[in-house]
Amino acid sequence: MKLELRGITKRFGALAANDNVSLVAEAGQIHCLLGENGAGKSTLMNVLYGLYQADSGQILLDDKPVKFSGPGDAMAAGIGMVHQHFMLIPVFTVAENVVLGHEPVKFGGVLDIAAARKKVREISDRFGFDVDPDAIVGELPVGVQQRVEIIKALITDAKVLVFDEPTAVLTPQETDELMAIMRQLRDSGRAIVFITHKLREVKEVADKITVMRLGKVVGEAKPSDTAEAMASMMVGRAVDLEVRKTPAKPGAAGLEVSGLNVWNHEGQQVLNDVSFQIHAGEILVIAGVQGNGQTELTEAILGTQTKHHGSIKLSGHELLGKTVKQVLDAGVGFVPEDRTEDGLVADFTIAENLMLDRSDRAPFAKRGVLQLDFLAKFAAEKVAQYDVRAQGIQAKASQLSGGNQQKVVLARELSRELKLLVASQPTRGLDVGSIEFVHEQIVAARDSGIPVLIVATELDEATQLGDRIAVMYQGKIMGIVPPDTDRTVLGKMMAGLSA
Amino acid sequence: MKLSNKTPIILAVVAFLAVLIAAFAPSGTTEIKFQAEGDLLPLPNIDVSVMAVTWFAAILMLLLAAYSWFRRLVQKRSSIAWLSPVFGVLFVLSVLTTLYAGKTMTLTALLQGSLSLAVPLIFGSLAGVLSERVGVVNIAIEGQLLAGAFCSALVASLTHSIWLGLITAGIAGALVALVLAVFAIRYVVDQIIVGVVLNVLVMGITNFLFSTLMGGNLALFNSPPRFDTMPVPLLSQIPVLGPVLFVQTPIVYLMYLAVGVVWFVLFKTRWGLRVRAVGEYPKAADTVGIKVYRTRYMSLMIGGSLAGIGGAFFTLGQVGAFGKEMTNGAGYIALAALIFGRWNPLYAALAALLFGFSENLQFGLAIIGSHVPSEFLLMLPYALTVIAVAGLVGKVTGPAASGKAYIKS
């Protein structure tokens, strides 16, 4: 089945998330929709799936115009979607999840779960998925959950399959398997739309590439084009995909973590005997699939994890068991992974956010009274230095783009006298320009001679930024390796196999 | 997974209490009477020694507690599900024989009273199951019960039709649920706050109408007919349980049916699967074409109508008239039963029976003139509720999206 989107426009208030977007996806092709975060790819697909109504434009299937008032219509017309955040119910079985919405029933609406099981098995066998229909979805590995999402799309016999950023949560091996599945589905005559911002994957699997920027289609690319060419199309200017840095000059051991165990509030052990050292002037990247204890590790350093055992020493001084304030005062800079939730107060101004950590002391406060003149001067200086694009220092943090929010967080954390920088997924969701900037700042912090700990979930970022890479899996460090280690080796470690 | 010490500790403490009871139990015997009127097989009354029963229970409980520690410390496994309920039964047995020492315990009457008190709780907890499973917290069960009680009394009095009264009760409960649904779903107001406000509102309206409207002409407005008991042939002849379960009013038979039907619908039908999907992850349900809002409205209103019928039990099944605030917190206990019953209609019904039993105990003991202070007995059902919900349930997770409004993007 051929899918055509013709002149789709979708506005949210004044913002045109999609501005006259057109694309054609042919049967038997993998059509990549390439663009940065916020380029309007997901909006477009939500329009296609009936979750949003377009303000203007047409959807055509095999040249016949169709109209979807909800996902049910889109599914009935043969469109299937594999969502970025899986649309699966964790407490249901695979079979229940797969048939939800179009359940086989016996008389009187009684669920025919045997028929559901059979359908799952059929599809699972046909594509070699190896999924147990009776497994509880929440207990399955992420990669298998994704296959359940795919089965869910296939069970309605979808002829057009949309994959929305499907590799964000996968290990490299799982990504390879997914690529194979996508090819297999293409070869079975389906049209595949693959939404992504990862150039490596596009080059590997795409038959046709449409590039989007700021809600518009900016052109088509060929899989044979260089990554740089695609990136500059995506961003709108020439970009440098390499992180520029000189070889590290590691000094004395700065941060020493030994035998660290942490339990979460449910009593589950989330860090298991974690030990590593970071030297002054060195970047250690913690790589691994999200949710394997990286967050808890950074929080243990900051002091927001309460059930712990072991030791975290910074220049010989114990940090574990100290309050957050004591840790910050010891010279720890902390960039949290969720900047809107943990990094900033959304309703505060840029200026207020810049002094959150030191509003209790001179020169920001004297005898408990805030020194607003000093703050204004300080904020103006930082906004200029970090190139925060905003309508002045009184703009609220919530009004800033992701990149500018991250710049505010960095400006605050790096304007203290640091002995350690901890940054958790510092470039998540940022545009390419902001990513370059953040990387520069991190490398500059390293070159100032402090140890730097970065949590990265994207392998490319890990290998480019890190001087050494520690891979975490289920709360354990699987090994610490140099950044030029082979991707498949890193992938195996991310899947829990020792190096 | 870290093992919890909670259950073994609680069991040990309760077992220790049982030993204390046994040690200080009065000597003498308790007479247990099994017989009720019209039994086919008359059972003899049994005299049991208080000492024997309490020590038997205490020693068994100690052994079970030891076993639970053995599992925890040596086998490193979590506690088994049947241990806590068995413990509860043994403890109650021990307490009962002690309290009834030297007196006669009429088992049938004790159980009959428990069931009567549990009927509105069970209907209420079913309403809770249906709304929480679909993702809306229903604090307004109390209001639904009360509305059902009032409207059934009024309509049955005016029309002299008990069945019309019952149907009106269902409609009244559904309407209270509809108000909750509109505010919670359409206007995204905090569900707990709406629920509490609704309870106060229904209380205020029924109080007002009770004193103005009903007070003016009791014969016309507040003298509904009452359901007669309808013994089920054969089944009612089963010793002990027969008279308890099968010599009842039609509302109670309706309740048995409702528990089974709600369970079957929730877990075995297409509609039930969708209800649970909406309560767990509404967005996932939405993306497969399930109408989230409609499902929530429907499930909530069906639940509300069940609670309304439960309210009618107060007026048409028991008292034969409406009384001010006559539900007396049953809606909140039903909520506790629902949590204790882990959002499952069958378990919730069992939990409601347990609460009914503990509530009934105070009446039973007051009648025989027990030496236990009445304040303690009044406290019993609520204390039991707190202990049951906080201590024995352990870690339970309800529907993931319960209490969260779903806003379509």
- In this structure, the answer to whether residues A223 and A305 fall within a common structural domain is no
Closest C-alpha among A486, A489, A439, A429 to residue A466: A439
The pLDDT value recorded for residue A339 is 87
- Interface check for B160 against chain A (CB to CB < 8 A): the answer is no
Tell me the sheet residues that pair with A124: none
- In this structure, the answer to whether residues A413 and A368 fall within a common structural domain is yes
Please give the single-letter amino acid code of residue A401.
S
Which of the residue ranges A166-175, A418-427, B274-283 would you say has the lowest mean pLDDT?
Answer: A166-175
For residue A196, the surrounding DSSP H or E stretch is strand A191-196
Q: What is the pLDDT of residues B224-250, one digit of tens each?
A: 999 998 888 888 888 778 888 898 999
- In this structure, the answer to whether residues A422 and A319 fall within a common structural domain is yes
Provide φ and ψ at B218, rounded to 5°: -60, -40
- In this structure, the answer to whether residues A204 and A72 fall within a common structural domain is yes
Q: Is residue A240 in some structural domain?
A: no
Q: By the 8 A CB rule, do A78 and A159 touch?
A: yes
Q: Is residue A384 in some structural domain?
A: yes
- In this structure, the answer to whether residues A258 and A404 fall within a common structural domain is yes
Share of chain B above pLDDT 70, in %: 91
What does pTM read for this prediction? Answer: 0.83
Which A positions 359-378 lie with beta carbon below 8 A of chain B? none
- Interface check for B284 against chain A (CB to CB < 8 A): the answer is yes
Which of the residue ranges B192-206, B310-324, B368-382 would you say has the lowest mean pLDDT?
Answer: B368-382
- Interface check for A108 against chain B (CB to CB < 8 A): the answer is yes
In this prediction, residues A155-181 reach a mean pLDDT of 88
Q: Quick check: A173 pLDDT over 70?
A: yes
Average pLDDT over chain B, rounded to an integer: 87
Q: By the 8 A CB rule, do B235 and B246 touch?
A: yes
- Extract the runs of DSSP E, i.e. beta strands, from A264-412: 269-279, 283-287, 307-314, 317-318, 332-335, 365-366, 369-370
The pLDDT value recorded for residue B79 is 63
Q: How far apart are CA B290 and CA A103, in angstroms?
A: 11
Q: Is residue A242 in some structural domain?
A: no
Choosing from A235, A265, A292, the residue where a domain stops is A235
The pLDDT value recorded for residue B235 is 86
In this prediction, residues A172-182 reach a mean pLDDT of 90
Cross-chain residue pair B280–A92, CB shorter than 8 Å: yes
Q: What is the pLDDT of residues A325-354, one digit of tens each?
A: 999 999 999 999 888 888 999 899 999 999
Which B positions 376-395 lie with beta carbon below 8 A of chain A? 395
Q: Quick check: A362 pLDDT over 70?
A: yes
Distance from the B213 Cα atom to the nearest Cα atom in chain A, whole angstroms = 45
Q: Is residue A488 in some structural domain?
A: yes
- In this structure, the answer to whether residues A181 and A281 fall within a common structural domain is no
User: What is the Rg, in whole angstroms, of the alpha carbon atoms belonging to chain B?
Assistant: 23
The pLDDT value recorded for residue B391 is 57
β pairing state of B46-49 and B29-33 = antiparallel
Residues whose CB falls within 8 Å of the CB of residue A479, separated by 6 or more in sequence, listed in order = A470, A471, A493, A498, A499
- Interface check for A87 against chain B (CB to CB < 8 A): the answer is yes
The pLDDT value recorded for residue A484 is 92
Q: How far apart are CA A305 and CA A264, in angstroms?
A: 8
Average pLDDT over chain A, rounded to an integer: 91
Q: Quick check: B393 pLDDT over 60?
A: no
Find the CATH number of the domain harbouring A416.
Answer: 3.40.50.300
Closest C-alpha among B256, B245, B253 to residue B108: B245
| Letter string b/e over residues B196-211, b meaning 16 or more CB atoms within 10 A of that residue's CB | ebbbebbbeebeebbe
To the nearest 10 degrees (0 to 180), the angle between helices B141-159 and B292-312 is 60
Contacts A307 to B, Cβ<8 Å: none
Give ∠ CA A342-B403-A399 in degrees, rounded to 5. 35
Of the candidates A70, A110, A269, the beta carbon closest to that of B289 is on: A70
Q: Is residue A244 in some structural domain?
A: no
The pLDDT value recorded for residue B392 is 57
Q: How far apart are CA B397 and CA B339, in angstroms?
A: 9
Which of the residue ranges A289-303, A469-483, B88-102, B274-288 would you say has the lowest mean pLDDT?
Answer: B88-102
Please give the single-letter amino acid code of residue A287.
A
Contacts B287 to A, Cβ<8 Å: 49, 51, 71, 81, 83, 87
- In this structure, the answer to whether residues A258 and A121 fall within a common structural domain is no
- Interface check for A136 against chain B (CB to CB < 8 A): the answer is no
- Interface check for B407 against chain A (CB to CB < 8 A): the answer is no
- In this structure, the answer to whether residues A228 and A271 fall within a common structural domain is no
Q: How far apart are CA A391 and CA A402, in angstroms?
A: 15
The pLDDT value recorded for residue B334 is 94
Q: By the 8 A CB rule, do B270 and A113 touch?
A: no
- In this structure, the answer to whether residues A308 and A405 fall within a common structural domain is yes
Q: Quick check: A100 pLDDT over 90?
A: yes
For tokens 């949710």, what's the residue?
A: A291
- In this structure, the answer to whether residues A281 and A188 fall within a common structural domain is no
Q: Is residue A246 in some structural domain?
A: no
Of the candidates B268, B289, B395, the beta carbon closest to that of A111 is on: B268
Number of structural domains found in chain A? 2
Q: What is the pLDDT of residues A427-477, one digit of tens each?
A: 887 877 788 889 999 999 999 999 999 999 888 889 999 999 999 999 999
In this prediction, residues B48-74 reach a mean pLDDT of 86
For residue A221, the surrounding DSSP H or E stretch is strand A216-221
Of the candidates A71, A92, A105, the beta carbon closest to that of B289 is on: A71
Q: By the 8 A CB rule, do B284 and B277 touch?
A: yes
DSSP class of residue B2 equals P
Q: Quick check: A269 pLDDT over 50?
A: yes
- Interface check for A13 against chain B (CB to CB < 8 A): the answer is no
For residue A80, the surrounding DSSP H or E stretch is strand A79-82
Report for A36-40, A285-289, B104-108: range of highest mean pLDDT: A285-289
- In this structure, the answer to whether residues A263 and A227 fall within a common structural domain is no
Q: Quick check: B1 pLDDT over 50?
A: no
- Interface check for B287 against chain A (CB to CB < 8 A): the answer is yes
DSSP class of residue A93 equals B
Contacts A105 to B, Cβ<8 Å: 269-270
Q: Is residue A243 in some structural domain?
A: no
DSSP class of residue B186 equals I
DSSP class of residue A105 equals B
Q: Is residue A499 in some structural domain?
A: no
In this prediction, residues B120-135 reach a mean pLDDT of 96
Q: What is the pLDDT of residues B136-166, one digit of tens each?
A: 999 999 999 999 999 999 999 999 999 999 9
The pLDDT value recorded for residue B388 is 64
Question: What's the pLDDT band for A375 if we cut at 50, 70, 90?
Answer: very high
CA-based nearest residue in chain B for residue A68: B289
- Interface check for B280 against chain A (CB to CB < 8 A): the answer is yes
A vs B: CB pairs below 8 A: 83
Please give the single-letter amino acid code of residue A125.
D
The pLDDT value recorded for residue B363 is 77
CA A463 to chain centre: 17
Q: How far apart are CA B140 and CA B179, in angstroms?
A: 10
**Domain coverage including residue A460:** 253-494
- In this structure, the answer to whether residues A171 and A296 fall within a common structural domain is no
Interface mutation target, options A99, A100, A264, chain B, most CBs of B under 10 Å: A100
In this prediction, residues A145-158 reach a mean pLDDT of 91
CA distances from A15 to A34, A41, A214 (A): 20, 14, 10
Choosing from A209, A235, A261, the residue where a domain stops is A235
Q: What is the pLDDT of residues B3-37, one digit of tens each?
A: 567 778 878 888 888 888 888 877 778 888 776 55
